[in-house]
Structure 1
Amino acid sequence: MTSPRFSDDPAAPVQAIFDTFQRRVDDGHTPASAFVLFSAEGIELEGGFGQLQLGGSAPQGRTAFRIASCTKSFTCATLLLLRDRGLLDLDTPITAFVPEFTPNTPPSDPVTPTVRMLMTMSAGLPTDDPWGDRQEAMTRAELGALLRAGVPTVSIPGTAFEYSNLGYALLGQVIASVTQRPYIEVVTEELLRPLRLDSTGFRAQDAGSELALGYRRSGDRWVELPFSDPGVFSPMGGLFSTPHDLARWAGWLASAFSPAGAQDGPLSPASRREMQQIHRSIAADPDAPETSHGEQGYGLGLFVERDPVWGTQAYHSGGYPGFSTHMRWSHEAQIGVVGFENATYSGAKVPVAEALDLAVRHLGRRVVGAAPWPETVALREAAESLVVAWDDSVADRIFADNVAPDIPYDERVATIASAIESVGGLEPEHTRDASEARGDSPAHLVWHIPGRNGRLRCEIRLTPTTPAAIQTFIVTAV
């Protein structure tokens, strides 16, 4: 275990994070549970509980697990590497690389899925969990026979999200076709070795000496499951990795959004950010116990969630016979968690999401939004002075030419006076908390001015000009 470096008083939330993963073992979800909490500075916290093999010790940072569908992010990163080198057009139909592929689309609308559609889970192929998780060792000849027999589609390619492991098996064939090298060799030489993910690989022996065994629950006992061999479905879920290695991978992807600068590596920060954008939205589940107020979708090998309060998170789960893995990180808070369990589809997403929520909310990693420009800060000061004591000359100096025609000054003065009255007047000497101001871009700020019975919410948005001016000025009582 390492000590958190980012909180003055971390004891309670840190213990809560440990308890979150310990309960997974205590409640019988899995024989073992392991996690790493990481930030831009590296590993902040880690722990392991239970038995990596029945009767054995607890897992730790160098214990290897199957990471299953977390592999998809490695597959997409490799495809983007090829794209960036000018070797691959993502909008090429998949049949250019896998000619046997024959989707059963309507004769009146015979759309052939492209590489990009497969990467974004919008190729129209039906969801194939858990079938796909048992196909890893399939040979190229067997894949060809499956494809020639025809592949059903459930939507017109390019129109809807549908999670497909078969689609990622096809993407592995794209990589092999473009490079004229085996998929596993390309990923290993282009990503794993340059990033020094030395305990990550497609075979158990590649993952180091300490290996977690996988189990499924049968009544009151755990039944050990064998490992599948690499094959044409490896691009959708074949990797083994350790908590330390997967945290390094996730941290490298997350660093593309770091204000201090992205970590070096084989894929550019721009392409890493591209992976973590919503390319295909996902409709909310009407039967879900809680409906998110944000936005959810699939990027390139990663899911993306945008929450109006807590910002954007990128993540992916991995479920395989005997294993469950989840990796998740916050763009704004610059912190993430990877978690591992050695039980079939046990749901490692649950403790990882809970741990990241604890970290963001309680361990000093508040989501702060976009850092404002210096001129935004200066214009905020001037705008606040108008709230306290309106001055037409100041307004003329800081406002864009749309402000007065939109709402004349006398109406704005009356609206502000009414808002001040509704909060019982302003505190005569209020202390401004600069960190309280938030914005969705450097040209936007929202802040509050305390009143005796409430507070004023103030908002400005600047023009896209040099010098900048205020185009939006809103003051309301809260």
Structure 2
Amino acid sequence: MTTPQEELLPGTRRALLHRIAVAQAEGRAPSLVAAVVRDGRTVWHGARTSVDGHAPDENVQYRIGSITKTFTAVLVLRLRDEGALDLEDPLEKHLQGTGAGEVTIAHLLAHTGGWAAETPGPWWERTPGALRPGLADVLGDQAAPHPAGRRFHYSNPGYAVLGALVEEVRGVPWEEALRREVLEPLGLDRTSVRSQAPAAGGWAVHPWADAMLPEPVEDFGRMAPAGQLWSTTGDLARFAAFLARGDDRVLSAETLREMRTPAAPAEVGDVADGAAYGLGLQIQHRDGRLLVGHSGSVPGFLANLTVGVADDVAAVVLANCTSGPPLAQVGADLVGIVAEAEPRIPAPWRPLRDVDQAVLELAGQWYWGTSPVALRVMADGLVSLGPLSGGGRRSRFRPNGDGTWTGLEGYYAGEALRAVRRPDGTVDHLDLGSFVFTRQPYDVGAAVPGGVDPEGWRGIG
């Protein structure tokens, strides 16, 4: 059930409708549906169609293609968070007989396993899954085109194998694990492996004529975890809200941050486009905005889910054509329309509930060599460290409960921050991954590596 569309201003709603109308008309899509999520709630739904008087709503299913991969990645991360596996485990530790060698679970999640992009044999998206009854039929006996861990190379078979990994560890079919662990807790009752009415038909539109051809609908079998799912804008809007904020019944916000952290080296063309890949999520920078999500395409359908993390705005766009509107651009534009027309209103500033004096005394200005930085104590229990102004290394740090903190992003991600004290209990310096931060530049009274010239600061003289 969507919230009233009046939550968006009339001008914003018209701009959103105009954008999808242009996309459907110029992309020659038989139908196109979209939804926008703000602050975790669906605030707009729109549709355009070539059939008079028959606009699809948020409950009509479309095939979502590779957005399925994000669902599969969520299942794998759940296993990791439960301690059933480690992402750095070789795949063969949990799923034998794949010939994966040094390929790890993390490699497959990030498409850095070096595996082929597609299965051997006929085009898997247009042929029955019964042609590929086992993993050997999905992988074939061809050599991997790239060494493991060296480069990003999108692999559909890799996600089919991740689905088989879920089955092996859980002891239930991938479809059952997905329903029980993700779909039901999040209330995604219109997302399914096979279509459930009402559902759109998939079409191919002739490239040089305004004519259409129905596309076959196949059950992908073993390849299902790579692209089988059907869903709706209503369900995917709820899934987008989950990807932005987390839900402890499925995955924590911290694990979702990990999923949207770049995990694969970008290709040359992708670097220019500001694109990267995390763990089951595509990452891109457009118009100064960080966007995460996933696109999908199978014969007859296009799909896109885009989350603007900083703006807390997400968009879902679905169409029933094999090629047509550039949905990744449309999704980014829908996010941008709302974020720019109705900027996010920050939550009220609130002070700390409890002030830890031992932490408070660390707040303020420090120096790494001669570079001034500021340590700030934040109301959410984190501390931040970064330059007083301009660019440079900066990060937030979460407390570990033992007087140390761990970096959450950037250069200092995963690095330990601690206050080094003198015998009398006063702070000598901060240690951050062996970097020393002192209260004065090259403080003569602190343990600066290499020491400080005893004659101190001087002129040229």
Please list the CA deviations of residues 236-282 of structure 1 after superposition, one character each: whole Å capped at 9, or x if unmatched. 011110101001011111014xxxxxx44322222222211111131
1:64 paired residue number: 61
Q: 2:307 aligns with which of 329, 337, 346?
A: 329
Please list the CA deviations of residues 383-421 of structure 1 after superposition, one character each: whole Å capped at 9, or x if unmatched. xxxxxxxxxxxxxx9654679x669xxxxxxxxxxxxxx
Amino acid across the alignment from 2:129: A
2:238 paired residue number: 248
Q: 1:181 aligns with which of 167, 172, 176?
A: 172
SS of residue paired to 1:336: strand
TM-score by length of 2: 0.72
Unaligned runs of 5+ in 2: 353-362, 373-382, 397-416, 420-426, 431-437, 442-461
Q: Tell me, in whole angstroms, the C-alpha distance in 2 between the residues paired with 1:278 and 1:331.
A: 14
Q: Tell me, in whole angstroms, the C-alpha distance in 1 between the residues paired with 2:393 and 2:163.
A: 49
Q: Tell me, in whole angstroms, the C-alpha distance in 2 between the residues paired with 1:94 and 1:462.
A: 33
Matches within 5 A, 1:181-330: 181-205=172-196, 209-218=197-206, 219-256=209-246, 263-285=247-269, 291-292=272-273, 295-306=274-285, 310-330=288-308
Amino acid across the alignment from 1:155: H
1:144 paired residue number: 136
Residues 372 and 445, structure 1, Cα contact 8 Å, conserved in 2 = no
Q: Tell me, in whole angstroms, the C-alpha distance in 2 between the residues paired with 1:144 and 1:166.
A: 10
Deviation at 1:4, TM superposition (A): 5.1
Please list the CA deviations of residues 91-128 of structure 1 after superposition, one character each: whole Å capped at 9, or x if unmatched. 2323345544236xxxxxxx531221111100001333
1:391 paired residue number: none
Q: 2:102 aligns with which of 112, 117, 136?
A: 112
Q: Tell me, in whole angstroms, the C-alpha distance in 2 between the residues paired with 1:296 and 1:63.
A: 31
Matched residues, number:
378
Matches within 5 A, 1:24-173: 24-51=23-50, 57-102=54-99, 111-128=101-118, 131-134=123-126, 137-138=129-130, 141-145=133-137, 147=139, 149-173=140-164
Residues 237 and 316, structure 2, Cα contact 8 Å, conserved in 1 = yes
Question: 1:31 and 1:285, CA in 2 relative to 1: closer, same or farther beyond 3 A?
Answer: same
Unaligned runs of 5+ in 1: 104-110, 257-262, 376-396, 408-440, 448-456, 473-478
TM-score by length of 1: 0.70
Deviation at 1:351, TM superposition (A): 1.4
Amino acid across the alignment from 2:228: G
Q: Tell me, in whole angstroms, the C-alpha distance in 2 between the residues paired with 1:102 and 1:298.
A: 25
SS of residue paired to 1:304: strand
2:357 paired residue number: none
Residues 384 and 394, structure 2, Cα contact 8 Å, conserved in 1 = no
1:3 paired residue number: 5
94-103 or 84-93, larger mean C-alpha shift: 94-103
Q: Tell me, in whole angstroms, the C-alpha distance in 2 between the residues paired with 1:55 and 1:66.
A: 22
Q: Tell me, in whole angstroms, the C-alpha distance in 1 between the residues paired with 2:126 and 2:391.
A: 56
Deviation at 1:216, TM superposition (A): 0.4
Deviation at 1:313, TM superposition (A): 1.6
Deviation at 1:189, TM superposition (A): 1.1
Residues 32 and 342, structure 1, Cα contact 8 Å, conserved in 2 = yes
Please list the CA deviations of residues 449-468 of structure 1 after superposition, one character each: whole Å capped at 9, or x if unmatched. xxxxxxxx899989977999
Question: 1:132 and 1:145, CA in 2 relative to 1: closer, same or farther beyond 3 A?
Answer: closer
Deviation at 1:63, TM superposition (A): 0.9
Question: Identity over the aligned pairs, expressed in percent?
Answer: 26
User: Larger % of helix: which?
Assistant: 1
